[in-house]
Amino acid sequence: MTADGPRTAVRFPVEGMTCSSCVGHITRALHKLDGVRGVRVDLRRELITVEREPGMVTDASIAEAIEAAGYHPRMGDAVIVEPQPTLLQRLLGH
């Protein structure tokens, strides 16, 4: 499956993020997971949105990666959100 194939997105709070270095640690940890196609971190609101390919990466594996990086995901507060279009999709008008 390609990076512009079907995706879902989940948004949830993460405790313990205090600076841009935290954002980098979490982003790198999540991008190591097969199936993660995008990570957006809102440091001010302490929210993370992970775009993923359906069936390839679970909420549990996302939580484990964040915990291993030293932060505390609150997956019980997770919500499904609309994935943002990729740059290619935006350029093509999809």
Please give the pLDDT value at position 88. 63
Cα separation, 77 vs 89, in Å, equals 29
pLDDT, tens digit (0-9, with 9 covering 90-100), for 61-94: 999 999 999 999 999 999 999 887 666 666 777 5
Ramachandran quadrant class, 93 (left: phi over 0; alpha: psi -120 to 50; beta: rest): left
pLDDT, tens digit (0-9, with 9 covering 90-100), for 4-20: 567 899 999 999 999 99
Assigned fold of 8-92: Alpha-Beta Plaits (3.30.70)
* CA torsion angle 59 46 37 88 (round to 10): 150
Distance of CA 20 to the CA centre of its chain: 16
Boundaries of every domain in the chain: 8-92
Q: What is the pTM of this model?
A: 0.83
Cα separation, 50 vs 40, in Å, equals 7
Please give the pLDDT value at position 4. 54
